[in-house]
Chains A and B, each alone.
Chain A
Amino acid sequence: MKKQGLQWVFSILGGLILLFVLGPVLGLMFSSSPHKLFETAQDPEVKNSIMLTLGTSMAGTFLFALAAVPFSWILARYQFPLKKLVTAIIDLPVVIPHSAAGIAVLGFISRDTLLGRAGSLAGFNFVGHPAGIMIAMAFVSLPYLINAARDGFLSVPERLEKAALTLGASPIRVFFTVSLPLAWKNILSGLILMFARGMSEFGAVVIIAYHPMITPVLIYERFTSFGLKYAQPVSVIFILVVLVFFMILRLLLSNSKKS
């Protein structure tokens, strides 16, 4: 009987937590009339910002994945000196305040740095450019991909890779025909996680580029310049976009658990 009482208390606490998360979101969802939402969705500034946000985050995710995925395989398969330090460095962007991360990245890509000069030669300046936004997004979201991909490779039995080698395959062929296909579900969920995390970044991006405006920055601007009523519909539309990817991710994860 005592245990049941405890369960009641804990369940009520859980309900409060759920309400704490759901309340504001639901409140926001019903804050704007469908008419207002439809109108906002037609607003070119909103549309452009969403396209920019999706585009930069996706480009950053795929570009950095080219290096991050093979790196994750190394992390999963090999022991090397200072490995703990290396994994700590990978997780660093998660704990750094995002505005501070933006300042750090800015120092790295501004015009007088090596990367900045390379950008100038190519005819653009990272600061205030989609390329800069992409880098800021990748900086804060990369750990999610690397950790997911590493877990994926860890779940591939090493014997399968060894078996492929004894069947005469080169190490690179083993990677592409055995390791990668067997870890792909984790890698894909890592890609979506990194993409979604990059998309929702505000702090780091706003320091690199106020313009062109990604949606989180646009929401902030509408709020500070015009007030709550103008920021709400943009927020709703952006949350709906993010939710689509969130649902795909959940679906993917539940499927991979079944198999």
Chain B
Amino acid sequence: MLKLTGINKDFKGFKLSDISFTVEKGDYFILLGPSGAGKSLLLEIIAGLAIPDSGSLELYGRDITQLPIQKRKVGLVFQDHAIFPHMKVKSNLAYALHGQPGESIHQKIMAMSANLGIGELLERYPSTLSGGELQRVALARTLIQEPEILLLDEPLSSMDTRLRSGTRSLLRKIHRAGQTIIHVTHDYEEALSLGNRIAVMDHGNILQTGTPDEVFHSPRNGFVAHFIGIRNFFPAKIRLHDGIPWAETVGNLKFRLQQGQDNESGFVMIRGEDIVLSASALDSSASNVLAGRVQETTTTPLGCDVCIECGETIHALITAESVSNMSLDEGSEIWMSIKATAVKFIDE
């Protein structure tokens, strides 16, 4: 268990104010926030690369606030992997095992490289590896020292989509094996898909901490809502009807999806601006047409947020002109059209 209490730090234009949270053993903890929020600085403080101005860090009951980096048993995987370019992959993996008997080093390298699928790469130099391979080497090099906590700094940000899903499953696998993970990202999809706890950060403050469901369903303030970009977020399960995937929410709404596997569970997300409102049922190409009643309308900097009750609460974002053209009084009936492509399913 890692416990941060009242961490403050002012460093090169980044400021952390009174950061407190606890990461339990076995958590997949996501630090979510825009760039410049201080996420990476916080990781560096946990790793020991930076010392907080005030506050304390406790790892399994041991105060590690002032402990030198190399004694912390905290593993950090850098965004750019930081693989030593002058050493073969094998030597990179062996780096953290310095001082152990040769036979034990060999066995650990073999086991770890088999586990992460880099057995073929051991004799290669880093300059000959692809981005995905470097990432796996970086993970292996850090995991081999069996850290109490694995820290990941934007591990998926510089990858193409295909590589990203492969790495996601790899991270899930590492987590399932019991590894406690803290993962820094600016991507809420990543947060949803991987984390079991999320902390949203901005300007050096933690704005909200909770399960993905809590954070995405009831954002505590405007920033969180805006940052996660979404108000319409429902736990759902995919059902195939005549081969067409539909996502069914707890509130019994059905959304037509573009693609999906039967019985997959996860979350449905719809951006407010992807919802088209009309006073009567439109004969449109949209595959999802739902009826509901207006609960309230709120003017936001981005437009007008219309809150509609239809079994679940859906938020639509429309322009101010549209508001005046439509009767949006509380309780009035309204129709929503949503294209299947605008309904996003995120697997758990």
Complex partner residue of A167 from B49, B80, B85, B145, CB under 8 angstroms: B145
**Nearest chain B CB to A29 CB, angstrom units:** 41
Interface residues of A in 144-201 (CB under 8 A from B): 157, 159-160, 162-170, 173, 177-178, 181-182
Query: Among residues 86 to 104 in chain B, which have CB atoms less than 8 Å away from a CB atom of chain A?
Result: 86, 95-96, 98
> Are B82 and A163 closer than 8 Å at their CB atoms?
yes
A164 touching B84, Cβ below 8 Å = yes
Q: In the docked arrangement, what's the CA distance between A150 and B98, Å?
A: 28
Query: Please, how many angstroms separate the alpha-carbon atoms of A254 and B90 in the complex?
Result: 29
Which chain A residues border B48 with CB–CB below 8 Å?
Answer: 165-166
Q: Mark A118-161, 1 if CB is under 8 A from B, else 0.
A: 00000000000000000000000000000000000000010110
The smallest C-beta distance from A27 to any residue of chain B, in angstroms, reads 46
Given contacts A159-B78, A159-B82, contact A167 B95 (CB under 8 A): yes
Whole-angstrom CA separation of A173 from B84 in the bound complex: 14
Say if the beta carbon of B179 comes within 8 Å of chain A.
Answer: no
A interface residue count range (under 10 / 10 to 19 / 20 to 34 / 35 or more): 10 to 19
Complexed CA–CA distance, A162 and B75 (Å): 11
- Count residues of B near A (Cβ-Cβ below 8 Å): 21
Interface string of B52-85 (1 = CB under 8 A from A): 0000000000000000011100111010101011
Residues of chain B within 8 A of A178, CB atoms compared: 84
Chain A residue at smallest Cβ distance from B138: A163
Chain A neighbourhood of B80, CB < 8 A? 159
Confirm or deny: B141 has a beta carbon within 8 angstroms of a beta carbon on chain A. Answer: yes
Bound Cα distance A157, B85 (Å) = 11
Confirm or deny: B47 has a beta carbon within 8 angstroms of a beta carbon on chain A.
yes
- Interface of chain A, main secondary structure: helix
Note all chain A residues with C-beta closer than 8 A to B70: 165-170
Q: Could you say which residues of chain B place their CB within 8 Å of the CB of A167?
A: 70, 75, 95-96, 141-142, 145
* Cross-chain contact of B96 among A157, A168, A182 (Cβ < 8 A): A168
Q: How many angstroms between the C-alpha atoms of A178 and B84 in the bound complex?
A: 7
User: What is the distance, in angstroms, from A99's C-beta to the closest C-beta of chain B?
Assistant: 44
Chain B residues near A182 (CB-CB < 8 A): 85-86
Instruction: Give Cα distance in the complex from A165 to B74, angstroms.
Output: 11
Q: Mark B126-163, 1 if CB is under 8 A from A, else 0.
A: 00000000000000011001000000000000000000
Tell whether, in the assembled complex, residue B69 and residue A165 are in contact, meaning their CB atoms are under 8 Å apart: yes
Shortest Cβ distance from A247 into chain B, in angstroms? 26
For the complex of A and B, list the 7 residue pairs with the smallest distance between their C-beta atoms, beginning with the closest: A163-B82, A167-B96, A165-B69, A166-B76, A159-B82, A168-B70, A181-B86
- What 10 new A-B contacts, CB under 8 Å, besides A160-B84, A166-B74, A169-B95? A157-B82, A159-B78, A162-B49, A165-B48, A167-B142, A168-B71, A168-B96, A168-B145, A177-B95, A182-B86
Residues of A within 8 A of B (CB): 157, 159-160, 162-170, 173, 177-178, 181-182
- A sample of 26 cross-chain residue pairs with beta-carbon separation below 8 angstroms, ordered by A number, consists of A157-B82, A159-B82, A160-B82, A163-B76, A163-B82, A164-B84, A166-B47, A166-B49, A166-B69, A166-B70, A166-B74, A166-B76, A166-B142, A167-B75, A167-B141, A167-B142, A167-B145, A168-B71, A168-B96, A168-B145, A169-B70, A169-B98, A170-B70, A181-B86, A182-B85, A182-B86
